[in-house]
Amino acid sequence: MNILVTGGTGFIGRWVVGRLLRDGHKVWVIDNLANSSLENVNEFLDNKNLQMVKIMDLKDREPLHELFRETTFELCYHLAASINVQDSIDDPETTFNNDTVATFYLLEECRRQQVKIVFMSTCMVYARASDEHGIDEQSPIKPASPYAGAKIAAENMVLSYFFAYGLPAVVVRPFNTYGPFQRTGGEGGVVAIFIHNKLKGEPLNIYGEGTQSRDLLYVADCADFVVEAGYSDQLNGEIVNAGTGRDISINQLAELISKGQVPIHHIPHIHPQSEIQKLLCNFQKAEKTLSWTPKVTIEEGIKQTEKWIQSTFHRKEPFKS
């Protein structure tokens, strides 16, 4: 197939691109590099099926239209987005434009060619899990930040194109994803930030009391889920979750990563109003429709992530197992 990946040089996007190339598809990548780097796809540049890696902002409608005019796509994975909760609180307009308006522009191009779209949403649209059943696709949503609100708005636009125009479309809601190639600064995920700080010998800072929990999904498992959602026709017009079915408190996560090698501090939460106290995924729908289950445990995932961060950012420091 001819497949377009927006945000394809990003953390999850580069893993999606890698899986698609391994499956033998021709892949076009566009990204504005706001949350990513071209270095993330360096290992794929010699692959004959990687057709293009282009710096492009989806809000620039003419270049986007030209791309669709030049190439006939069969599938589009839309991963490009503003993803930082605090940034969305500080500057909601940018997040809305990048996550909702840009999605509309892409939908219009997909509609003209009837290109199936897989829209990457987030578990952050949900209210907290109320019990150990976890959050399924019928669980209540709660736009506790402009980021979550923009994603919900974009989800609804994507699904509306399925119902109004018959455009094949699926919304995927992965839970908190971590792994190699995730940024280790403030815009990164908690696992990457904790590991990076540990390797620097610095304290692990936890926002609030640390009792909030997360269902942490390894990025290779996430990418497989996203790709499979595009391959299947069973989920058109629907929303589907991916996670591990196991949550861990941030306090427990910090202990697991620090291994007593660095101190753990609690600091005031930067956005307590947007905190979700318990995120636990029920992924039965993905398991049933896609035969997908996560393969990587949190312990193994942390090990692999630490190896990558060690080799990428801490080459001069001895590796601590």
Stretch (H or E) spanning 22 = helix 11-22
Give yes or no: 147 in active site.
yes
In DSSP notation, 117-147 reads: EEEE--GGGBPPP-STT-B-TTSPB---SHH
- E strands, 158-284, are 169-174, 177-178, 204-207, 213-214, 217-218, 238-242, 248-249, 264-267
Name residues whose C-beta falls within 8 Å of residue 299's C-beta, 6 or more positions apart in sequence.
256
Cβ-proximal residues to 190 (8 Å cutoff; 6+ apart), any chain: 176, 178, 214, 250, 253
How many C-beta neighbours within 10 Å does residue 32 have?
18
For residues 203 and 197, is the Cβ–Cβ distance under 8 A? yes
Rounded to whole angstroms, the Cα distance separating 161 from 167 reads 6
Of the candidates 77, 66, 106, 59, the one whose C-alpha atom is nearest the C-alpha of residue 13 is 77
Residue written as token pair 């307590």: 272
Q: Report in angstroms the alpha-carbon separations of 218 from 23, 43, 256.
A: 20, 20, 16
Phi, psi of 262 (to 5 degrees): -135, 155
Tokens of 95: 């997040």
Annotated catalytic residue, options 126, 147, 161, 178:
147
**Positions marked catalytic:** 147
